[in-house]
Amino acid sequence: MNHYFEIYENEARERVALRRGFYWLAALLDWIWMFFHGLWVEGFITFGINALGLFLLYLGGASWEANLTFQVLLGVGVGLAGRRLRQLSVERRGFAYRCTVQARDAAGAIAKLVAVGGEPLPEWRARRMFVVPDVVPRQIRGLAAVALLTMKAALRFRLVVVLLLLLLAVVILLPVVIKHDGSAQGFTQILITYTLTSITGLLGFATLWLACGTLARDVEDATMQVVCTKPVPRWQVWLGKWTGIMVLNLAFLGVTGATLYVLLYWKASSLSPAQQQVLRTEVLVARGGLKEPPADYSKEIEEMYQTRLKENAGAVTDEKDKKFLREQIRQGFLAGEQYIPAGQYRIWRIPFGKLAAKVANQPLQLRVKYYSPDTAGSATPNRFEWNVGSENRKPYTFANSFASESPTTFPIGTNLLADDGILTVMAFNLNERPVLFPLEDGLEVLYPAGGFAGNFFRGFAIIACWLGLLAAIGLFAASKLQFSVAAFVSLAILIVGLSSGTLKQVVEQRGIVGIDNETGQVAAESFVNKAAVAVYGGALKLLDLITGYDPVNALSTGRNISWARLAQAVFLVVGVAGGIFAGLGIWIFTRRELAAPI
């Protein structure tokens, strides 16, 4: 099998042939291979990255699989950069580039040059700054070349340097400028919530700007016309732009993520021992959560509904009245599930299923949130007695007091599950007033589901999915429009996507025209209202699927982001939503007349 070899020559007419492609020995030995070839600075940098990565993984309690994955990724990066590193090595020894020859091995390439008297033939390709490695399939080498050119353009406009400095300023300076109150919650709010939100916002707007600019400006200055004369399909040009932008985004996320991870553990040492314990158990963890399954009251609701109809035989005849009566009965049953009178108790039964054996000896926690009618509001704590366990396990009984309206987390011990995997939780209301535990987030059992390092990585991976969608939106707009118009359209799409409240209101009131001010519903069904509900309802479901992944909140509260959750985000955010914009953008760009006057 023939490969391309770059031949270098020094003043003494000594020649070295460097193969293009992936360097397996460099991937296996990384910094040792660099030292062997005299690349001392690069070798020490790689050694430092290796040591820092292993240290961060150790701090996060990562598994051996995570360490192995890190080593493989580092090796792949060094292997891909192997030709460029060897080029630096020979250039520092006085060698200069001569030509590129196709041959079976390095000796054969040099022999070809010697056979023609040392002067390269005209057909031997000139050197290119960005060379697609041989490991890339020939079918998509055009895509890879466009991706490399996109990154080169970003470097030329200094976007990478400016954006990286802004991101590092956010990560490093924001925790310094904004002081926390010394609690684990305040520490987390600033160092994770504010910082991650700022990183996502900066990268999001930069991605939209670059996606709109890299395609629209290439068309405006006629660069794209030159690219499209090459034997590269336009769909590869479009996807190459997207790939180049995402490689830059992944690099930004990698640098800022590693910096934030180091700062997180370093600044945590300034907290008090008690708050450090809270941080380790509630934030720097990956906890899964289980809730009680919703009860099925359909039979009871139907029986009571029929009874009420008989009792009010002549009064309830209209369909709206019947619908209202049924909903009123349903809400009554739901209220009974949430309401605990003074001096009474409520029982939750949480099934662990297949997780029972895994978490049997693991420390569990309760996350509780309730509401109280007390006029003093959330500042007044209420007292509860808890009985946690099962019939065949010794129950864990304790009492505590905490304020309403805000979630409170406290430990409940280990080995409390019944043989059937069900955890029974009983709460006694020891107050003189009733309390209400909402069904959606009133009580949840938290259990250890993994380490913080893996959770941190998966959180950043979901942010990368969002950026992939934004890049697709920007390129979609730029496939037909000028830069300024494309940027405006992209921002408009983003704003509409964030306006789920409006979509939800249209669905709830069953239309957009003829709204009754008293009931908040449409006065009469119409084609416009039905069409609006169908369109807005579909858009709302899609938006809920896309925006339902919140890595910032999950990381700041120590909630587990599972691999299944990440896979769903990749499929829905990048595959479905991003695929829709990519398909439309490629279709428009393929049919666009590039040389047409504007």
What pLDDT, on the 0 to 100 scale, is given for residue 327?
76
Q: Once rounded to an integer, what is the mean pLDDT over residues 373-399?
A: 76
Please, what is the angle between helix 159-177 and helix 141-156, to 10°? Answer: 60
C-alpha triplet 133, 134, 139: angle, nearest 5°? 100
Q: Report the candidate in 191, 77, 192, 209 with the shortest Cα–Cα distance to residue 133.
A: 77
More confident residue, 586 or 227: 586
Q: Once rounded to an integer, what is the mean pLDDT over residues 75-103?
A: 85
Residues 196, 181: Cα–Cα separation, whole Å: 19
C-alpha triplet 153, 154, 158: angle, nearest 5°? 115
379: DSSP letter:
G
More confident residue, 230 or 473: 473
Residue holding tokens 């039964």? 349
Burial class (CB in 10 A: 0-12, 13-18, 19+), 370: buried
Find out whether 236 and 146 touch, Cβ atoms under 8 Å.
Answer: yes
Q: Once rounded to an integer, what is the mean pLDDT over residues 112-134?
A: 67
Q: Once rounded to an integer, what is the mean pLDDT over residues 23-43?
A: 88
Q: Report the candidate in 540, 553, 546, 543 with the shortest Cα–Cα distance to residue 569.
A: 546
Q: What are phi and psi of 221, to 5 degrees?
A: -95, 15
Residues in the chain: 598
Q: Give the CA distances from residue 161 to residues 314, 398, 591, in Å, rounded to whole numbers and listed in that order.
A: 77, 56, 35
What pLDDT, in 10s, does the model give residues 280-312?
Answer: 777 788 888 888 888 777 787 777 877 777 776
Sheet holding 15-19, edge to edge: 15-19, 3-9, 96-103
Averaging pLDDT over each range in 3-12, 300-309, 454-463, 512-521, which range is the top one?
Answer: 454-463
Question: What's the mean per-residue pLDDT of the chain?
Answer: 80
Confidence grade of residue 164 (pLDDT, cut at 50, 70, 90): confident
Q: Once rounded to an integer, what is the mean pLDDT over residues 380-393?
A: 81
User: Quick check: 464 pLDDT over 90?
Assistant: yes
Confidence grade of residue 587 (pLDDT, cut at 50, 70, 90): very high
User: Quick check: 229 pLDDT over 80?
Assistant: no
Residue holding tokens 């003494």? 12
Confidence grade of residue 413 (pLDDT, cut at 50, 70, 90): confident
User: Quick check: 33 pLDDT over 50?
Assistant: yes
Percent of the chain with pLDDT over 90: 7
What pLDDT, on the 0 to 100 scale, is given for residue 129?
44
What pLDDT, on the 0 to 100 scale, is given for residue 473?
92
Residue holding tokens 């963890």? 285
Q: How far apart are the first and last CA of the chain?
A: 49
C-alpha triplet 148, 237, 200: angle, nearest 5°? 65
What pLDDT, in 10s, does the model give residues 436-453?
Answer: 888 888 899 998 888 888
What pLDDT, on the 0 to 100 scale, is given for residue 126?
60
**Residue extent(s) of CATH 2.60.120 domains in the chain:** 298-450
What pLDDT, on the 0 to 100 scale, is given for residue 384?
92
Looking at CATH, the fold of the domain delimited by 298-450 is given as Jelly Rolls (2.60.120)
What pLDDT, in 10s, does the model give residues 96-108?
Answer: 888 888 888 888 8
What pLDDT, on the 0 to 100 scale, is given for residue 582?
92
Q: Which alpha helices (H) appear in 17-140, and where do they start and end?
A: 24-29, 31-36, 40-59, 64-80, 82-92, 106-115
Residues 63, 46: Cα–Cα separation, whole Å: 22
pTM of the entire predicted model: 0.74
Residue holding tokens 């369909």? 319
User: Quick check: 279 pLDDT over 80?
Assistant: no
User: Quick check: 162 pLDDT over 70?
Assistant: yes
Q: Once rounded to an integer, what is the mean pLDDT over residues 35-52?
A: 86
What pLDDT, on the 0 to 100 scale, is given for residue 130?
47
Residue holding tokens 């055009």? 142
Confidence grade of residue 521 (pLDDT, cut at 50, 70, 90): low
Residue 448 Rama label (left phi>0; alpha psi -120 to 50; beta): beta
Q: Give strand pairing partners of 388.
A: 396, 425
* Number of helical H runs and strand E runs in the chain: 23, 13
More confident residue, 28 or 545: 28
Q: Output the DSSP codes for 314-363.
A: TT--SHHHHHHHHHHHHHHHHHHHHEE-TT-EEEEEEE-GGGHHHHTTS-
What pLDDT, on the 0 to 100 scale, is given for residue 143?
80
Q: Once rounded to an integer, what is the mean pLDDT over residues 157-171?
A: 74
What pLDDT, on the 0 to 100 scale, is given for residue 547?
65
